[in-house]
Amino acid sequence: MLPLLVAHLALLINYDLARRPYLTLVLLAVAFLGYVRAATRLEDRISVPFILVIATLLRFILLPLPPTLSDDTLRYVWDGKVVNAGFNPYLLAPEAPELESLRDELWEQMPHQEVQTVYPPLALTLFSSASWLPRPLLGVKILLCLVELAGCWLLILLARRLGLPPGRAVWYCWNPTVCLEVAGMGHIDAMLVTAMIATVLLLTGPTRRALGAGSAAAAGVLAKLVPLIALPMWARQSGRPTVFLAAALGLVALALLPVGVSVGGVPPGLVTYGISWEFNGPLYEPLWRLLDQLDLIDGVKGGLSQIKQWTGHHDFWNQFYPYVYPQLLAKIVLAGVFGVCFLLNLRQPHPVIGTGRLLGSLILCAATIYPWYLLWVLPWAALARHRAWLTLSALITISYLPQVLDVPLFPWFYLAIWGPFLLLLISSKWTID
């Protein structure tokens, strides 16, 4: 326990973690060693209040850290200001002339000023609330910590409902990456995770509450869209799929329909993210390079040319040429792979195992994976003591180095992160015992 607390205090003393990235990684490594030692020794003989007190302390220590490893919190506060000023952040990018009166020092530091917001309405509500506080950046992190600590408590309740020792939740609650990404860098994924834990808790046990679970699932979608992929599986597990989907989709539609109407369809920020963002995708990174090396792009373009000749519709087929490049083809292939994983997982009866497998498959097939995305899987990995995903929660912090040092991710940093994980994944299983 002591090494874990000391390492967190050392991270606070290090303060600007991006200025000394190697020292930051060393301190995180020490924190993980302390975390593994404490969790292994205390898992079967620890009280619930002690779990929550230490979880709160670990987050409280990291709250003062400036969000220099990630700039997402800057965007959160900006979006909150835009909402409070009565503008539509789905329509107006930060560089829009209409928002010139809101520009300040935070705006000057914020990247991607040409991209509209990608965050759903519930997330914007939290951002808006924090923007009224005297210190909005700290306010966002405090609010997210409070929400996520509620998630820690719900995870303990879930462990008990599954017949597991409450201490099993320590593998999530005390995880250094979780603490860093929630309290230190302040990511909205904390709200998403709490909503998903609530959903799974309501789907577990002899009395499954389809209406409550559907409402909790909707809250997760409206914090970040990720849980949309789990709604069909959760609906089957609820025992009352019609009730579950009516609650989940009804609330989501009620919140998102005005957004769609205001922008005339899918928010442009989401389109930009889906097409343009790519970083550290475990299967994506090697796949698009392989497609490029095999010269498959020329073959696809040649096929399009043949189709043009056969059909005679030159103008129609010409519009597809700009989209024929390795990265987009890799995304299409991996979308198909994830579709297969989705269908195979649809009938999984256990909500914890099903959610862990489904979100794990999403991460494996995604083109963009930042360290805080691991929060989607870690609650379920904690309950299952899934060695591969828990190990990845430590290794994923290496991905900060290429961003901070402005050096290539592929191949060496990529191999250091994903090589050990993929080897462990072969021998690790999703089981609750």
The tens digit of pLDDT for each residue in 195-220 reads 999 999 999 977 779 999 999 999 99
Torsion on CA atoms 191, 195, 201, 203, rounded to nearest 10: -160
Contacts of 243 (CB under 8 A, 6+ apart): 210, 211, 214
Local confidence band at 280 (pLDDT 50, 70, 90 cut-offs): very high
Residue 76, helix vs strand vs coil:
helix
Burial of residue 365, with CB atoms counted within 10 A of its CB: 0-12 exposed, 13-18 middle, 19 or more buried: buried
Return the minimum-mean-pLDDT range out of 26-30, 135-139, 176-180, 325-329: 325-329
At 345 the pLDDT is 94
pLDDT higher at 67 or 3 = 67
Neighbours of 389 (CB within 10 A): 25
Q: What is the mean pLDDT of residues 111-121?
A: 95
- Close Cβ partners of 158 (under 8 Å, ≥ 6 residues apart): 169, 197, 200, 201, 204, 352, 383
Q: Residue 328 has what pLDDT?
A: 82
Residue 314 — pLDDT band, cuts 50, 70, 90?
Answer: low
Weakest mean pLDDT among 295-304, 334-343, 407-416: 295-304
Residue 344 identity (one-letter amino acid) = L
pLDDT at 207: 75
Q: Look at residue 316 and tell me whether its pLDDT is greater than 80.
A: no
pLDDT band for 312, please (50, 70, 90 cuts). Answer: low
**Looking at residue 323, what is its pLDDT?**
58
Q: What is the DSSP letter of 264?
A: T
pLDDT exceeds cutoff 90 at 232: yes
Specify the DSSP class assigned to residue 347: T
Burial 48-78 (b: 16+ CB within 10 A, else e): eeebbebbbebbebbbebebbbbebbbbbbb
- Asked if the model's pLDDT at residue 274 lies above 90, the reply is no
| Cis peptide, bond prior to residue 411, ω within 30 of zero | yes
| Among 10-24, 85-99, 166-180, 286-300, the least confident range | 286-300
Instruction: Give the integer Cα–Cα distance in Å for 77 and 98.
Output: 18
pLDDT mean over 140-148: 98
Give yes or no for residue 13 having a pLDDT over 80: yes
Is 301 a residue whose pLDDT tops 70? no
Least confident of 158-162, 320-324, 360-364: 320-324
Task: Give me the pLDDT at residue 292, please.
Answer: 83
Nearest by Cα to 186 from 214, 147, 225, 154:
147
Tokens of 417: 């992160």
Mean of the per-residue pLDDT values for the chain? 93
Q: Summarize the confidence of residues 89-114 as an average pLDDT.
A: 93
Q: Could you give the CA distance from residue 363 to residue 361 in angstroms, rounded to a whole number?
A: 5
Determine the average pLDDT of the residues in 315-330: 66
**pLDDT tier, 310 (very low <50, low <70, confident <90, very high otherwise):** confident
Does pLDDT of 356 surpass 90?
yes
| Structure confidence at residue 329 (pLDDT) | 86
Return the domain boundaries, the chain: 2-69+136-279+332-427
pLDDT confidence of residue 299: 63
pLDDT for res 293: 84
Q: Which two tokens stand for residue 72?
A: 């997402």
**What is the C-alpha to C-alpha distance for residues 426 and 262, in angstroms, rounded to an integer?**
46
pLDDT over threshold 60, residue 332? yes
DSSP 140: H
Q: Give yes or no for residue 305 having a pLDDT over 80.
A: no
Closest among 190, 207, 209 to 247, alpha carbons compared: 209
Share of the chain above pLDDT 90, in %: 83
Q: Which of 291, 255, 215, 270 is nearest to 125 (CA)?
A: 255
